[in-house]
A and B are shown apart, each in its own frame.
Chain A
Amino acid sequence: AQSVSQHNHHVILSEAASLELGCNYSYGGTVNLFWYVQYPGQHLQLLLKYFSGDPLVKGIKGFEAEFIKSKFSFNLRKPSVQWSDTAEYFCAVNTGFQKLVFGTGTRLLVSP
Protein backbone atom coordinates (compact mmCIF):
# COMPACT_ATOMS: atom_id res chain seq x y z
CA ALA A 1 0.00 0.00 0.00
CA GLN A 2 1.13 3.48 -0.71
CA SER A 3 2.40 5.57 2.19
CA VAL A 4 3.70 9.06 2.79
CA SER A 5 6.40 10.02 5.26
CA GLN A 6 6.96 13.43 6.71
CA HIS A 7 10.02 13.15 8.87
CA ASN A 8 9.85 16.57 10.51
CA HIS A 9 6.98 16.52 12.99
CA HIS A 10 7.70 19.91 14.51
CA VAL A 11 9.71 22.74 13.04
CA ILE A 12 10.43 26.06 14.75
CA LEU A 13 11.83 28.94 12.72
CA SER A 14 12.33 32.63 13.09
CA GLU A 15 10.73 35.01 10.65
CA ALA A 16 12.70 35.40 7.40
CA ALA A 17 14.33 31.99 7.80
CA SER A 18 14.16 29.57 4.90
CA LEU A 19 11.93 26.54 5.12
CA GLU A 20 12.19 23.05 3.71
CA LEU A 21 9.77 20.32 4.76
CA GLY A 22 10.49 16.79 3.68
CA CYS A 23 8.01 14.44 2.07
CA ASN A 24 8.73 10.96 0.78
CA TYR A 25 6.23 8.51 -0.64
CA SER A 26 6.30 4.84 -1.40
CA TYR A 27 4.70 3.90 -4.69
CA GLY A 28 6.38 2.74 -7.85
CA GLY A 29 3.87 4.00 -10.38
CA THR A 30 2.57 7.36 -11.51
CA VAL A 31 1.67 9.67 -8.66
CA ASN A 32 0.00 12.99 -8.19
CA LEU A 33 1.38 14.96 -5.28
CA PHE A 34 -0.11 17.65 -3.10
CA TRP A 35 0.76 19.88 -0.21
CA TYR A 36 -2.06 21.10 1.97
CA VAL A 37 -1.88 23.58 4.82
CA GLN A 38 -4.10 23.70 7.88
CA TYR A 39 -4.04 26.99 9.80
CA PRO A 40 -5.04 26.79 13.46
CA GLY A 41 -8.74 25.99 13.73
CA GLN A 42 -9.24 25.97 9.99
CA HIS A 43 -9.77 23.44 7.23
CA LEU A 44 -7.23 22.03 4.82
CA GLN A 45 -6.27 24.34 2.00
CA LEU A 46 -4.40 23.39 -1.11
CA LEU A 47 -0.95 24.98 -1.33
CA LEU A 48 0.24 23.36 -4.53
CA LYS A 49 0.02 20.22 -6.61
CA TYR A 50 2.07 18.24 -9.08
CA PHE A 51 0.54 16.12 -11.81
CA SER A 52 3.11 16.13 -14.60
CA GLY A 53 5.54 18.39 -16.45
CA ASP A 54 7.98 20.73 -14.73
CA PRO A 55 9.00 19.05 -11.47
CA LEU A 56 9.37 22.43 -9.78
CA VAL A 57 5.90 23.54 -8.82
CA LYS A 58 4.98 26.97 -7.56
CA GLY A 59 2.02 27.40 -5.27
CA ILE A 60 0.29 30.08 -3.32
CA LYS A 61 1.87 32.35 -0.69
CA GLY A 62 5.39 31.95 -2.07
CA PHE A 63 5.61 28.19 -1.54
CA GLU A 64 7.18 25.83 -4.02
CA ALA A 65 7.91 22.12 -4.15
CA GLU A 66 10.20 19.95 -6.19
CA PHE A 67 9.30 16.47 -7.36
CA ILE A 68 12.37 14.23 -7.51
CA LYS A 69 11.20 10.93 -8.94
CA SER A 70 14.45 9.07 -8.25
CA LYS A 71 14.20 9.95 -4.57
CA PHE A 72 10.41 9.52 -4.29
CA SER A 73 10.37 12.95 -2.75
CA PHE A 74 8.26 16.09 -2.96
CA ASN A 75 9.80 18.58 -0.54
CA LEU A 76 8.11 21.87 0.24
CA ARG A 77 10.17 25.07 0.32
CA LYS A 78 9.79 28.74 1.05
CA PRO A 79 12.75 31.12 0.96
CA SER A 80 11.54 33.41 3.75
CA VAL A 81 8.81 32.43 6.19
CA GLN A 82 6.44 34.79 7.95
CA TRP A 83 4.68 34.53 11.28
CA SER A 84 1.45 33.94 9.36
CA ASP A 85 2.89 30.69 7.97
CA THR A 86 2.46 29.09 11.38
CA ALA A 87 0.31 26.07 10.57
CA GLU A 88 0.36 22.35 10.02
CA TYR A 89 1.51 21.15 6.61
CA PHE A 90 0.43 17.89 5.04
CA CYS A 91 1.91 16.13 2.08
CA ALA A 92 -0.48 13.84 0.19
CA VAL A 93 -0.32 11.37 -2.66
CA ASN A 94 -2.95 10.28 -5.12
CA THR A 95 -2.05 7.18 -7.09
CA GLY A 96 -5.00 7.31 -9.45
CA PHE A 97 -7.58 5.75 -7.21
CA GLN A 98 -8.81 9.14 -6.12
CA LYS A 99 -8.31 8.74 -2.41
CA LEU A 100 -5.57 10.87 -0.94
CA VAL A 101 -2.99 9.26 1.31
CA PHE A 102 -1.68 11.81 3.76
CA GLY A 103 1.51 12.08 5.69
CA THR A 104 1.37 12.63 9.43
CA GLY A 105 1.85 16.36 9.06
CA THR A 106 4.50 18.85 10.13
CA ARG A 107 3.67 21.55 12.63
CA LEU A 108 5.50 24.75 11.77
CA LEU A 109 5.86 27.50 14.34
CA VAL A 110 7.30 30.78 13.13
CA SER A 111 8.39 33.14 15.84
CA PRO A 112 8.24 36.87 15.14
Chain B
Amino acid sequence: DSGVTQTPKHLITATGQRVTLRCSPRSGDLSVYWYQQSLDQGLQFLIQYYNGEERAKGNILERFSAQQFPDLHSELNLSSLELGDSALYFCASSGDRGRPSTDTQYFGPGTRLTVL
Protein backbone atom coordinates (compact mmCIF):
# COMPACT_ATOMS: atom_id res chain seq x y z
CA ASP B 1 0.00 0.00 0.00
CA SER B 2 1.59 3.26 -1.17
CA GLY B 3 -0.56 5.54 0.97
CA VAL B 4 -2.07 7.20 -2.10
CA THR B 5 -5.81 6.60 -2.45
CA GLN B 6 -8.01 7.01 -5.48
CA THR B 7 -11.74 6.83 -5.93
CA PRO B 8 -13.66 5.39 -7.56
CA LYS B 9 -11.91 2.17 -8.56
CA HIS B 10 -14.06 1.70 -11.61
CA LEU B 11 -16.20 4.10 -13.60
CA ILE B 12 -18.41 3.27 -16.54
CA THR B 13 -20.04 6.09 -18.41
CA ALA B 14 -21.28 7.12 -21.84
CA THR B 15 -19.76 9.30 -24.52
CA GLY B 16 -20.34 12.99 -24.02
CA GLN B 17 -20.54 12.69 -20.25
CA ARG B 18 -18.36 14.29 -17.58
CA VAL B 19 -16.67 12.49 -14.69
CA THR B 20 -14.51 13.43 -11.73
CA LEU B 21 -11.72 11.28 -10.39
CA ARG B 22 -10.40 11.87 -6.92
CA CYS B 23 -6.97 11.38 -5.41
CA SER B 24 -5.67 11.75 -1.86
CA PRO B 25 -1.87 11.94 -1.63
CA ARG B 26 0.30 10.34 1.03
CA SER B 27 0.25 12.19 4.30
CA GLY B 28 2.57 15.19 4.06
CA ASP B 29 3.12 15.03 0.30
CA LEU B 30 2.61 18.34 -1.44
CA SER B 31 2.76 17.25 -5.06
CA VAL B 32 0.13 15.32 -6.94
CA TYR B 33 0.58 13.99 -10.46
CA TRP B 34 -1.94 12.51 -12.86
CA TYR B 35 -1.07 9.87 -15.44
CA GLN B 36 -3.12 8.08 -18.06
CA GLN B 37 -2.37 4.48 -18.97
CA SER B 38 -3.90 3.17 -22.17
CA LEU B 39 -3.06 0.27 -24.44
CA ASP B 40 -2.03 2.40 -27.38
CA GLN B 41 -0.35 5.33 -25.57
CA GLY B 42 1.22 3.59 -22.61
CA LEU B 43 1.77 5.62 -19.44
CA GLN B 44 1.54 9.33 -20.14
CA PHE B 45 1.98 12.22 -17.74
CA LEU B 46 -1.01 14.54 -17.71
CA ILE B 47 -0.50 17.24 -15.10
CA GLN B 48 1.17 18.06 -11.77
CA TYR B 49 -0.01 20.19 -8.88
CA TYR B 50 2.15 21.39 -6.04
CA ASN B 51 0.54 22.77 -2.91
CA GLY B 52 -2.53 23.90 -4.80
CA GLU B 53 -0.80 25.37 -7.84
CA GLU B 54 -0.37 23.86 -11.27
CA ARG B 55 3.34 23.12 -11.76
CA ALA B 56 3.71 21.13 -14.94
CA LYS B 57 1.54 20.09 -17.82
CA GLY B 58 1.95 17.13 -20.09
CA ASN B 59 -0.23 15.59 -22.73
CA ILE B 60 -3.47 16.72 -21.21
CA LEU B 61 -6.43 17.42 -23.48
CA GLU B 62 -8.34 20.67 -23.21
CA ARG B 63 -11.42 18.64 -22.25
CA PHE B 64 -9.56 17.55 -19.13
CA SER B 65 -8.78 19.72 -16.13
CA ALA B 66 -7.52 19.22 -12.62
CA GLN B 67 -7.24 21.04 -9.35
CA GLN B 68 -5.69 20.55 -5.95
CA PHE B 69 -7.58 21.64 -2.90
CA PRO B 70 -6.30 23.18 0.38
CA ASP B 71 -6.35 19.75 2.05
CA LEU B 72 -4.04 18.64 -0.84
CA HIS B 73 -6.42 16.15 -2.38
CA SER B 74 -6.79 16.48 -6.12
CA GLU B 75 -9.53 15.95 -8.65
CA LEU B 76 -9.22 15.23 -12.34
CA ASN B 77 -12.22 16.29 -14.38
CA LEU B 78 -12.84 14.69 -17.73
CA SER B 79 -15.58 16.13 -19.91
CA SER B 80 -17.16 15.48 -23.30
CA LEU B 81 -15.90 11.95 -22.95
CA GLU B 82 -14.96 9.95 -26.03
CA LEU B 83 -14.42 6.23 -26.49
CA GLY B 84 -10.68 6.86 -26.68
CA ASP B 85 -10.65 8.26 -23.16
CA SER B 86 -11.16 4.77 -21.79
CA ALA B 87 -8.03 4.11 -19.77
CA LEU B 88 -6.56 3.63 -16.34
CA TYR B 89 -5.93 6.96 -14.62
CA PHE B 90 -3.25 6.96 -11.97
CA CYS B 91 -2.48 9.55 -9.38
CA ALA B 92 0.94 9.78 -7.75
CA SER B 93 2.30 11.94 -4.98
CA SER B 94 5.72 13.04 -3.84
CA GLY B 95 7.13 15.03 -0.99
CA ASP B 96 9.08 17.80 -2.71
CA ARG B 97 11.12 18.14 0.42
CA GLY B 98 13.46 20.76 -0.99
CA ARG B 99 14.95 18.47 -3.62
CA PRO B 100 12.28 18.11 -6.27
CA SER B 101 14.42 16.27 -8.78
CA THR B 102 15.09 13.43 -6.38
CA ASP B 103 11.66 12.95 -4.88
CA THR B 104 10.15 9.57 -5.58
CA GLN B 105 6.60 9.38 -6.87
CA TYR B 106 4.30 6.90 -5.17
CA PHE B 107 1.33 5.71 -7.17
CA GLY B 108 -2.26 5.08 -6.20
CA PRO B 109 -4.29 2.05 -7.30
CA GLY B 110 -5.83 3.90 -10.25
CA THR B 111 -9.31 4.49 -11.57
CA ARG B 112 -10.37 2.40 -14.52
CA LEU B 113 -12.57 4.50 -16.77
CA THR B 114 -14.69 2.82 -19.42
CA VAL B 115 -16.52 5.02 -21.90
CA LEU B 116 -19.29 3.25 -23.81
Closest A residue, CB atoms, query B43: A102
* B84 at the binding interface (Cβ < 8 Å): no
* A42 at the binding interface (Cβ < 8 Å): yes
| A99 pairs with B101, CB closer than 8 A | no
* A73 at the binding interface (Cβ < 8 Å): no
Taking residues whose C-beta sits less than 8 angstroms from the other chain, chain A's interface range is 20 to 34
A15 to chain B, nearest CB (A): 27
Residues on the B chain within 8 Å of A98, using CB: 31, 33, 48, 55-56, 94, 100-101, 103
| B107 pairs with A99, CB closer than 8 A | no
| A51 pairs with B102, CB closer than 8 A | yes
* A34 at the binding interface (Cβ < 8 Å): yes
Helix, strand, loop or mixed for chain B's interface?
strand
* B25 at the binding interface (Cβ < 8 Å): no
A43-B2, A44-B90, A105-B42 known; A100 vs B110 contact (CB < 8 Å): no
| B42 pairs with A102, CB closer than 8 A | yes
A52 to chain B, nearest CB (A): 8
The interface centre, meaning the residue of A32, A34, A43, A45 with most chain B CB atoms within 10 A of its CB, is A43
* B28 at the binding interface (Cβ < 8 Å): no
Closest B residue, CB atoms, query A105: B42
B2 to chain A, nearest CB (A): 7
Residues on the A chain within 8 Å of B44, using CB: 102
Extra 11 A-B pairs, beta carbons < 8 Å, given A94-B101, A102-B43: A43-B2, A45-B107, A46-B104, A51-B102, A96-B100, A98-B94, A98-B101, A99-B33, A100-B35, A100-B45, A102-B35
Q: Which residues of B are interface residues toward A (Cβ below 8 A)?
A: 2, 31, 33, 35, 42-45, 48, 55-56, 58, 90, 92, 94, 100-110
